[in-house]
Amino acid sequence: MIRGDSSDYELLDKWTKNFDCNGYKTCEIGVREGLGSKIIMDNVVNNYIHVGVDPYGNLEYQHYDNTGAYTCDYTDEMRDTMLKDFLPYRNQGKFTLCNMTDTQFMNDSEHRHSKFAFVHFDGPHMTKDVMTEAIWFANRSVNGTRFVFDDYTKYRMPMIAQVLSLYGFEVKDQGTNKCVMEKVK
């Protein structure tokens, strides 16, 4: 059973349904058990591959701007279950896991030379982390690229949206938990 830990998955469903990736990649930062990635992979069309980025390892880290550091349930056992659940997608070449942090991914990954059609931001929820990710992916976006931010009320989303407007992104939809932006120019 592939579960999620948030809400507004119907928003993710709506903005990925038959979304044409034009051969570019999709990505989810923060995979956990995999519901976000499953929705993306099941819905988009013409996707090169979906990249999940998650270190697992039950890391202790600061989750929000105003909290201390603590661990959750993001264990390596959870990763192994997710990998088993995603075996059909992996066998079809639709999914690859970058078992690393967002920072490692942005610095080291082979994917740094790629373009992305769709990104779900659901890893660290501190403003500085989401901002860094957003700019990194904005520099690897194309016309029509969609970004979905989970838990957007927990960080300084207006500031992130303002920076992304410089890259041609506009807010397209908002739920209680997720905010959708699209590159329109």
Ligand X SMILES: C[S@@+](CC[C@H](N)C(=O)[O-])C[C@H]1O[C@@H](n2cnc3c(N)ncnc32)[C@H](O)[C@@H]1O
DSSP run (H or E) holding 30: none
- Our CB check for ligand X shows the closer of 56 and 152 to be 56
52 sits near ligand X (criterion: CB under 6 A): no
56 sits near ligand X (criterion: CB under 6 A): yes
Phi-psi region of 144 (alpha: psi -120 to 50; beta: other; left: phi over 0): left
Residue 119: strand pairing partners: 27, 147
Q: Which of 8, 94, 111, 123 binds ligand X (CB under 6 A)?
A: 123
We find the least distance from the C-beta atom of residue 97 to ligand X, in angstroms, to be 11
Where does this chain touch ligand X (CB under 6 A) — which range of 19-27, 28-36, 87-95, 153-161? 28-36
36 sits near ligand X (criterion: CB under 6 A): yes
Nearest to 32 by CA among 96, 69, 81: 81
- Which token pair is 63? 């989750």
Q: Is residue 2 a contact partner of residue 159, using CB atoms and an 8 Å limit?
A: no
How many CB atoms within 10 Å of residue 129? Answer: 21
Residues in the chain: 185
Q: Which of 15, 16, 19, 33 binds ligand X (CB under 6 A)?
A: 33
Where does this chain touch ligand X (CB under 6 A) — which range of 18-26, 50-58, 141-149, 153-161? 50-58
- Our CB check for ligand X shows the closer of 19 and 56 to be 56
- CA–CA dist 119, 50 (Å, integer): 9
122 sits near ligand X (criterion: CB under 6 A): yes
Q: Using CB under 6 A, list all residues that contact ligand X.
A: 4-6, 28-33, 35-36, 53-56, 61, 74, 101-102, 122-124
